Amino acid sequence: MAVMTSVEPLLAIRDLSVGLRSRSGVTPLVRGVSLDVRPGERVGLVGESGSGKSLTLLAAMGLLAGSPVEVTGGSVRLGGTELVGAPDRVLRGFRGSQIAMIYQDPMTSLDPVQRVGAQIAEGLRAHGASRRGAQERTLAVLAEVQLPDPARLARAYPHELSGGMRQRVMIAAALAGNPRLLLADEPTTALDVTIQRQILALVARLQQARHLAVLWVTHDLGVAAQFVQRLAVMYAGRIVEVGPTTAVFASPQHPYTAALLRAVPSTSGERSALGQIPGSPPDPARLPAGCSFAPRCPQALPGCSLTDPVLEARSAEVAAACLVPVSEWQP
């Protein structure tokens, strides 16, 4: 279900499915995901590791080609252009200039034997910038992400920078081509809390100044609460709840979302036991019949093991895939 507004989405994902192909068949990893990101909007995609969050981003970027993991169905449209099945030349033209990505670990994303300025300039040159223009733009974006002495830093190698500085370089590289959409794959996970807050504040400032659309993947609900305006919760390859962040946090409508929120430490100073979710996420190759969360759900009904629910409106703002009637729902 896609929540409709009067603003057309910049990124429109419809019924996206991704699977791992092997001799025995295709194992579903992302199952029928639909999600919109509108111009200037910050959307969060949350869930446990293995839920399909990062694969959704990679599929949107067209970065699964050549691997055994492939898009098996659905559509990804950016500004009206279909990206699923698009020729490589089209995808290369969009990456950097229309859509860009910040990865989780800059040490594995940055070339360790190339100076950081050269790595940013290389992407600009690939889109037709002159050598001098690429150099000038590189220094400008390094300054824009608040790195000191951009000319000196551009000559540094990744190992000479701190973790926070490397992540700022990655943000600079992503924004250098003036994209309209920024995809972020848990870019603050490896940073300490103080640096994490600085990076979130930086991206929020740049997003507002550039009117960027952002799709931010995280497993950290605290980060989601600070940064995103709308939240989509993934479980076992599907989106099970979506709505404004404040509404989802105030009144979750899916038992998995409610369980995740109970597991977040309290900030009130009171000591209390953290909530736990019994069991483990299902093996994608052995998905249970019906609702994938039913074996772990404290409110599961007999029909939950038979019917896989679809996203439906549960309130004025929030949609969830749950068979428990709203009148009987216990958040």
Question: pLDDT tens, position by position, for the chain (331 residues)?
Answer: 444 445 789 999 999 999 999 888 899 999 999 999 999 999 999 998 889 999 999 999 999 988 899 999 999 999 989 999 999 999 988 998 999 999 888 888 899 999 999 999 999 998 889 999 999 999 999 999 999 999 999 999 999 999 899 999 999 999 999 999 999 999 888 788 888 899 999 999 999 999 999 999 998 898 899 899 999 999 999 999 999 999 999 999 999 999 999 887 765 556 556 677 888 999 999 999 999 999 999 999 999 999 999 999 999 999 999 999 998 888 7
Distance CA 27, CA 19 (A): 5
Domain-embedded: residue 140: yes
Domain count, the chain: 1
Domain-embedded: residue 315: no
Domain-embedded: residue 314: no
Instruction: Give the pTM.
Output: 0.92
Would you list the DSSP string of 195-219? HHHHHHHHHHHHHHHHT-EEEEEES
Summary mean pLDDT of the chain: 91
Domain-embedded: residue 170: yes
Domain boundaries, position 156: 113-174
SS3 39: coil
Domain-embedded: residue 32: no
DSSP-derived letter for residue 292 is T
Given this model, what pLDDT does residue 2 score?
A: 43
Q: Give the strand order in the sheet containing 69-78.
A: 25-37, 11-22, 69-78, 81-82
Helix or strand holding residue 320 (H, E): strand 319-320
Distance CA 207, CA 230 (A): 15
Burial of 118 (0-12, 13-18, 19+ CB in 10 A): middle
pLDDT tens digits, 226-266: 899 999 999 999 999 999 999 999 999 999 999 999 887 76
- Report the interhelical angle of 116-126 vs 163-175 (nearest 10°): 20
Would you list the DSSP string of 129-168? --HHHHHHHHHHHHHHTT-SSHHHHHTS-GGGS-HHHHHH
pLDDT tens digits, 156-188: 999 999 989 999 999 999 999 999 999 999 988
Helices and strands (H and E) in the chain: how many: 11, 12
Domain-embedded: residue 129: yes
Phi, psi of 296 (to 5 degrees): -110, 0
Q: Residue 204 is encoded by which pair of tokens?
A: 């929020």
Domain-embedded: residue 142: yes
Domain-embedded: residue 125: yes
Given this model, what pLDDT does residue 159 score?
A: 94
Given this model, what pLDDT does residue 317 score?
A: 94
First to last CA, the chain: 22
